[in-house]
Amino acid sequence: MRPSSSTGSAMYDHVTLRLSDLVAGTALFATVLDQLEIEQTARTPSFSVWGNFALTEADEDHPIARRVHVAFIAPSPGHVDRFWQAGVDAGFADDGAAGPRRVYADDYYAAFLKDPAGNSFEAVYRDGERARGKIDHVAIRVADVEASTAFYSTIGDAAGLTLRRQSPDSAAFALGASDGSLLIFAGRPTESVHIAFSGTDDDIRRFHADACASPVNPRNGAARGRAAARTQYESEAFHADDRRLRH
């Protein structure tokens, strides 16, 4: 494997979800993210942004996001408690009350909320060095774990993704030196979430070339990788086994 210029600096440039009602969704997420001291950094008629997490409105060609999991970084266990309570009070469904989750790690303290589309949102506090940005990890569900793992392994050199573990029904990729993770689980596939990874111009060209050359599930057609307003990757444009996971 070639040395990656992204391994040490990789992070989620942004993760974007589409909602049926951007105004209502903005108010709902502002309520819970305020509890984590995550400030809204931009708002337009089309987007609401909190650092590297964003919302936009669905349309006829771009349906709402479904079955994605996004975990936000909490500064303390108390922030996790307030995130869960504010979310339940605001209308999110309880998907796991605040408390230790030692099945993940001894210092893992988290709470979970869920929306009607099956998307789940977590606040997590852990000791030690944390991911940059606002997002600790993202989890997606796929129809074929092996194919998806092969695809993300193919682009991993450029994207800064390193495969940490794999089983028949799941896989986990580390993102950069301490910048969270991308988790893959077997299940009804995640839909309509946009995931962008940070990188240099050279990384983007390498990402595009590696993705286009990948033998994994060519039914997805031509690659659409591009450098947008910021240097980034767009992994869903090359997603291994579900064409509906797109921007």
Residue ranges of domains in the chain: 12-238
What's the CATH number for 12-238? 3.10.180.10
Is 109:82 a contact under the CB 8 Å cutoff?
no
Model pTM above 0.85: no
Length of the chain: 247
Q: Can you state the angle between helices 145-159 and 201-213, rounded to 10 degrees?
A: 150
Look at residue 107 and give its three-state secondary structure: coil
The DSSP call for residue 4 is P
pLDDT string in tens for the chain (247-residue length): 233 344 444 578 899 999 999 999 999 999 999 999 999 999 999 999 999 999 999 998 899 999 999 999 999 999 999 999 999 999 999 999 999 999 999 999 999 999 999 999 999 999 876 767 799 999 999 999 999 999 899 888 888 899 999 999 999 999 876 568 999 999 999 999 999 888 778 888 888 888 777 776 433 433 333 332 222 333 433 333 333 333 3
Tokens read off for 211: 């993705």
Could you tell me which of 177, 81, 159 has the C-alpha nearest to residue 125?
Answer: 81
Q: Are strands 193-197 and 12-19 parallel, antiparallel or unpaired?
A: antiparallel
